[in-house]
Amino acid sequence: MKILVLNAGSSSQKSCLYSLEADSLPQKHPDPIWEATIDWTASPEFGLMKVKANGVKQEIKLDPGKKPDGIAQMLDTLVQGETRVLEQLTEINVVGHRVVHGGSEYSEAIRITPEVKAAIAQLIPLAPSHNPAHLEGINAIEKILGAVPQVAVFDTAFHSKMPKSAAVYPIPYEWFERGIRRYGFHGTSHKYCANRAAQLLGQPLEMVQLITCHLGNGASLAAVRQGISVDTTMGFTPLEGLMMGTRSGSIDPAISIHLIRNHGMSADQVDHMLNKESGLKGITGVSGDMRYVAETMEQGDKRAKLAFEMFSHHLRTAIGSMLGNLHRLDALVFSAGIGEHSAVVRQAACAGFEFLGITLDPEKNAHPEMDSDISTADSRVRIFVIHTEEDWAIATECWNILGL
Ligand code: ADP
């Protein structure tokens, strides 16, 4: 069984191939047998494709004029050269696509049909830089692989059962009816982490209550009650919620109005500032990378220290806000680049909750094994570090949908 996973973005494409035995899904995720990425922003002169398979790593420069053929060029490396892992592309049984926005329609992954493509297209105004790229990816696969089954796995799906009290914004109700609502994102990661946490707790997902913290360049939290995301920090767009690498997260919405009205900024300029020039980058003035922030803070940089303290403050605030909609907490989960690798961020986040008996083991926190418990034996809540496996989660959805 060969499952291709594709994450097609506007400036990058990422893909991997899983090869599974035909009878059952493995309990533990296997490594993909082939991985490829194309970064079209690597240089003005070329796009950079990196491919990894058969113990070989290759870097190939691509002509930016051939961007529409990017996926075809990437898939060529599956059947040619040192990274060849297939005799022919027709061996691929199913293709799973990460799709950022599924709107209110989709609460589950779904097999792609012309109707699903039309729905993804209709949602372009809500995800203008993502959904068009996903559609291009779906069409490219159709062109290259013909009638292979394709599956859309939506970032928004896991949050679609959120109660209305969390989903509706307190603005005139007709805007909710017109689609202005909290959708939430990173759903594939939150769902994977929630399932993995339940496994680590040794209980069915339906029995546990969790807070999952996906802390990457984009960052969001979810409150997961009995397998359902009942609240999440991202909202109508992935801009809401936590302070992030280059995104502001939640700010007083009147700031945008003020900048447009009194400082001559256009809506596009405010959009750019809040999405690309804010967050850790906005405060340090240099970088949105948490490694840079932590290192320069250690060296005494005051702006880096402020950025770190703000990030930690907003993270604690968000954890507190998620707590309010759970009936108890079984585990707090840290995941993605910062959540998995930054001991100082985890320490700063948990320090706010020691009075509730949520206590980190400093040794375990300093050098955690992946998918392990880093809380003290007497902590009232387990604290897990979980390596998120979004690609594997997408592959699993494909398997389930095709009833393999
Ligand atoms: P994306 O949202 O792009 O998938 P990632 O999940 O890869 O992002 O997370 C990127 C973030 O993780 C960056 O801020 C990076 O600095 C941070 N990160 C990665 N490794 C470490 C590390 N060892 N220590 C601290 N932060 C790290």
Residue-level length of the chain:
404
Average pLDDT across the chain, whole number: 95
CATH of domain 203-385: 3.30.420.40
Terminal C-alpha separation, the chain: 9
Which residues pair with residue 255 across a beta bridge? none
Reduce the DSSP state of residue 142 to 3 states and report it: helix
Torsion of CA 323, 327, 328, 334, to 10 degrees: -40
Helix (H) or strand (E) holding 33: none
CA of 258 to the centre of ligand 1 (A): 33
* Confidence bin at 404 (pLDDT 50/70/90): low
| Nearest of 239, 196, 242, 250 to residue 370 by alpha carbon | 196
Predicted confidence (pLDDT) per residue in 123-137, tens digit: 998 888 889 999 999
Q: Which of 39, 155, 217, 385 to mutate to test the pocket of ligand 1 (most atoms within 8 A of CB)?
A: 217
Predicted confidence (pLDDT) per residue in 171-200, tens digit: 999 999 999 999 999 999 999 999 999 999
> Other C-beta atoms within 10 Å of 130: how many?
23
Helix (H) or strand (E) holding 383: strand 382-385
Is the C-beta atom of 387 inside 6 A of ligand 1? no
Which atom of ligand 1 lies nearest, measured to the CA of 214? Answer: 6
Predicted confidence (pLDDT) per residue in 82-124, tens digit: 999 999 999 999 999 999 999 988 999 999 999 999 999 999 9
Active-site annotation, residues: 155
pLDDT at residue 374 is higher than 90:
yes
The domains of the chain are located at 2-154, 203-385
CATH number for 2-154: choose from 3.40.50.300, 3.40.50.1980, 3.90.1150.10, 3.30.420.40.
Answer: 3.30.420.40
Please name the residue that has the structure tokens 């007709």. 174
Helix (H) or strand (E) holding 100: none
The two counts, helices (H) then strands (E), for the chain are 15, 14
pLDDT at residue 209 is higher than 80:
yes
| Same fold for the pair 2-154 and 203-385 | yes
For the stretch 134-173, what's the b/e string if a residue is b when 16 or more beta carbons lie within 10 angstroms of its beta carbon?
Answer: bbbbbebbeebbeeeebbbbbbbbbbbebeeebbbeeeee
